Amino acid sequence: MKQTECPINCQHALRVADEICLGRGVRLTSQRRQVLEILCDHHKPMGAYDILDLLKVQLPSAKPPTVYRALDFLLEQGLVHRLESLNAYVGCIHPEHPHASQFLICRDCGEVRELESRNVDRTLDSELKACGFKAESQVIEVTGRCLRCVGQEEL
């Protein structure tokens, strides 16, 4: 199991996003790019209104629909993930290939880690197939306590 903190280097993420959008024939507009950059720069899950507050620094006329439309596009392209339990968004650590999403969410400090486990993917795919179920989205969110917060208990 490969464990990686979310998200990756912002400049790399933006380059990859440009390449993906170009290859798919879709436009990564300046507003969409700014929303992705905000998520990459902040290295934590963010709600749409938190993103809007930061976007308004660069684009004072920005309104909630601006952010929601950008997030919808970024989600469709696999450049960000939505964490349902937090009602928040994070940049994807490996958008260059489609994948099921697995996240560890610390309930104490809020740290979020994206996992890439082929074993989890295979097991879930096998179970879905056995049930005759076609998934449209596969996001697994595990809430608990990170190593750092568990360690603080011992102090």
Residues 72 and 48 in one domain: yes
Of the residues 50, 68, 91, the one at which a domain ends: 91
What is the structure's pLDDT at 100? 76
Smallest CA-to-CA distance from 39 within 51, 27, 29 is with: 51
Query: What domain count does the chain have?
Result: 2
Question: Which residue matches tokens 């969110």?
Answer: 141
Q: Which domain, by its residues, includes 114?
A: 101-153
Pairing of strands 88-91, 2-5: unpaired
What is the structure's pLDDT at 8? 57
Say what the pTM is: 0.83
The ranges of the chain with pLDDT < 50 are 1-7
What is the structure's pLDDT at 155? 52
Give the alpha-carbon dihedral of 41, 44, 49, 51, to 10 degrees. 10
Residues 87 and 62 in one domain: yes
What is the structure's pLDDT at 58? 92
Binding-site residues for Zn(2+), please? 106, 109, 146, 149
Binding-site residues, please? 106, 109, 146, 149
What is the structure's pLDDT at 93? 79
Residues 27 and 55 in one domain: yes
Token digits of residue 32: 């969409």
Q: What's 134's domain CATH number?
A: 3.30.1490.190
Residue 96 included in any domain: no
What is the structure's pLDDT at 42? 87
What is the structure's pLDDT at 154? 62
DSSP of the chain, one letter per residue? -EEEESS--HHHHHHHHHHHHHHHT----HHHHHHHHHHHHH-S-B-HHHHHHHHHHH-TT--HHHHHHHHHHHHHTTSEEEETTTTEEEE-S-TTS---EEEEEETTT--EEEEE-HHHHHHHHHHHHHHT---S--EEEEEE--HHHHHHHT-
Residues 109 and 146 in one domain: yes
35, 70 in Cβ contact below 8 A? yes
Pairing of strands 2-5, 80-83: unpaired
